[in-house]
Structure 1
Amino acid sequence: MRIAWVTDSTAYIEDLSVCKENDVFVVPMNILFGEKEYKDGIDLSPEDLFEKLKEEKVEVKTSQPSIGTFKELYEKLGGSYDHIFSIHVSSHFSGTMSSAYQAAELLSDTVPSITCIDSKTLTYPLTELIEYGQTLHKKGASIEEIKESIEEKIKTRELYVMVGSLEQLHKSGRMNGLSFFLGSVLNIKPILSIEDGKLEVKEKVRSINKGLSNMSKLLGDALQRKVIKKVSILHGLNHDEALEWINELKINYPDIEFGAYPLGAVIDVHAGANTIGISWTDEHEKA
């Protein structure tokens, strides 16, 4: 059985050129600079994004791919694959999941073998779900077993992020005016968590070092109740800062595999270039 894996450009894909070889198909999100529209990951990189933010004083927005875009892709894949898994950024962050689901519904008679899954997360943790599903497929798991296992994996995900720019978070509508004002005046940096796909304020700190320290402690606390083999450090353009943090974490947790992964342009629009976060899942084996 051939399975196609469809996702959106909030997922971390290191090399887009090899996606099709791995049966992965990425639908780009849209980034709007005033009247100009760019395709995320195709027309605009995170570096390009922040250069344009400096140069062009226009409103920047993001938007989901259209239902038609998904419908066209599903129809194309339906002729070559036995099943399509379409896994996307949390539905609480974007309408992308809604577009994917509606397209699948429209094709229920002609391309019935489409499974849409709300990842309830973003960036590299979303990519990990696809890799996990592909591993299960190689081991001979059925479509239903893959779906159920991915949904169980989603429930064990923890993700914490320290926002790099309150101003961008405010402009994007993710923070109200009073919170933005108080945070700016008091130099507060919120640490956000993703709870069932929704952003929640976990803590408020006054410095980057304090934020990194607190998120490191959250990892330590999680290790008391979970088996964690891999930890992802998520970052904006502050790649060096992410690597420094990984080196510090390795001292305390030498048995864990750490990796640094960029958040991508769409997430950076909302969170800022200096955003940094940490994420893991529970690797307990089922009995």
Structure 2
Amino acid sequence: MRIAWVTDSTAFVPNQSESGKEDIYVVPMSILFGEKEYMDGIDLSPEELFAKLRNEKVEVKTSQPSIGRFKELFEQLSRDYDYIFSIHVSSHFSGTFSSAYQAAELLKDTTPNISCIDSKILSNPLTELIQYGKRLSEEGTDPLGIKEAIEERINSCETYVMVGSLEQLHKSGRMGGLSFFLGSVLKIKPMLSIEDGKLKVEDKVRSIKKGLSSMSHQLNLALANRRIGKVSVLHGLNQEDALEWMEQLRQAYPEIEFGAYPLGAVIGVHAGENTIGISWFSESK
């Protein structure tokens, strides 16, 4: 079967302008600077985003793709593919999954072979789910089996992120006013986890070093009971810091494959340019 894989621009897909390459199609989210709209990953890079955040004092918002945009894409892909998987950023972070699901519902009588999946994650872990599904397809697994395997794998993901900017998190509505005030005054950096697609404050630290140590500790705890083959280090514009930390992790855990991946512009609007995190999928030993 020919399977199309649809995702959104919060996934880590290099060269989004080449959407459709390797049967992966990226629907860009929008970033609104005042009255001007930009397509994430197409006409606004993370570097350009953060430069504008520093220099332009206007309200910044992000917006999910419309139901119509997904409907149009699904109709187009159904002419060339036997099945469509549409996998998106956690529904607790964005309405993108809802837009895709509603579009699929509108087409269920004419194009029934569409499965929409809430990844409950973001960035490169979302990309890894797509790659996992593609491998299953190449091995001959049918769409129902692929869907079940992906949903099971979602539950094995752990993600921890140290937010780079309390101000951005506050402006985006992800942090209350009192928490923002106290964090700013006390210089506290929240270390967040993603559990069942929702953000949870896992720890509060006063320095980047302590934050990295706290996230490394979470990896240690996971390795005590689970097997981990690959770990993703996630970052904003602070790639140099991410690569340095990744090298330290690589030396500490030589049996694990590590990779560093940018979080992207949309996530940066909410978390800030110095955000850094870690994520992995685990299996029973």
TM-score interval w.r.t. the shorter chain? over 0.9
Q: Which amino acid aligns with 1:167?
A: E
Q: Which amino acid aligns with 1:110?
A: T
Distance 1:250 1:281 in 2: 17
Within a 5 Å distance, the mapping from 1:97-176 to structure 2 comes to 97-176=97-176
Quote the residue 1:213 is aligned against. Answer: 213
CA apart distance, 1:173: 0.1
Query: What is the CA deviation profile of residues 209-251 of structure 1, one whole-angstrom value per residue up to 9, with x for unaligned ones?
Result: 0000110011011000110010000000000000000111112
Distance 2:5 2:51 in 1: 32
CA apart distance, 1:43: 1.0
Structure 2: tracts of 5 or more residues without a match: none
Distance 1:112 1:219 in 2: 41
Q: Which amino acid aligns with 1:44?
A: L
Q: Counterpart of 1:283 in 2: which secondary structure?
A: strand
Quote the residue 1:277 is aligned against. Answer: 277
Q: Counterpart of 1:229 in 2: which secondary structure?
A: strand
Q: Counterpart of 1:230 in 2: which secondary structure?
A: strand
Quote the residue 1:52 is aligned against. Answer: 52
Quote the residue 2:82 is aligned against. Answer: 82
Q: Which amino acid aligns with 1:34?
A: G
Query: What is the CA deviation profile of residues 49-81 of structure 1, one whole-angstrom value per residue up to 9, with x for unaligned ones?
Result: 011112211000001000000000000001110
Distance 1:65 1:175 in 2: 24
Distance 2:71 2:252 in 1: 48
Q: Which amino acid aligns with 1:127?
A: T
Moved more, 77-86 or 17-26: 17-26
Q: Counterpart of 2:7 in 1: which secondary structure?
A: strand
Q: Which amino acid aligns with 1:189?
A: K
Q: Which amino acid aligns with 2:110?
A: T
Q: CA RMSD in A?
A: 0.9
Q: Counterpart of 1:193 in 2: which secondary structure?
A: strand
Quote the residue 1:246 is aligned against. Answer: 246
Distance 1:247 1:21 in 2: 31
Distance 1:19 1:49 in 2: 21
Q: Counterpart of 1:228 in 2: which secondary structure?
A: strand
Within a 5 Å distance, the mapping from 1:32-71 to structure 2 comes to 32-71=32-71
Query: What is the CA deviation profile of residues 100-141 of structure 1, one whole-angstrom value per residue up to 9, with x for unaligned ones?
Result: 000000001111100000000000000000000000000000
Quote the residue 1:228 is aligned against. Answer: 228
Query: What is the CA deviation profile of residues 79-103 of structure 1, one whole-angstrom value per residue up to 9, with x for unaligned ones?
Result: 1100000000000000000000000
CA apart distance, 1:15: 2.8
CA apart distance, 1:19: 4.1
Query: What is the CA deviation profile of residues 152-182 of structure 1, one whole-angstrom value per residue up to 9, with x for unaligned ones?
Result: 0000000000000000000000000000000
Q: Counterpart of 1:4 in 2: which secondary structure?
A: strand
Distance 1:6 1:21 in 2: 11
Contact 2:235 2:260 in 1 (8 A): yes
Distance 2:55 2:216 in 1: 36
Distance 1:211 1:13 in 2: 27
Q: Which amino acid aligns with 1:234?
A: L
Quote the residue 1:256 is aligned against. Answer: 256
CA apart distance, 1:5: 0.1
Structure 1: tracts of 5 or more residues without a match: none
Moved more, 168-177 or 276-285: 276-285
Q: TM-score, length-normalised on structure 2?
A: 0.98
Distance 1:21 1:239 in 2: 26
CA apart distance, 1:31: 0.2
How many percent identity over aligned positions?
71
Distance 1:128 1:19 in 2: 17
Query: Cα distance 1:178–1:88, how it changes in 2: closer, same or farther (>3 A)?
Result: same
Q: Counterpart of 2:243 in 1: which secondary structure?
A: helix
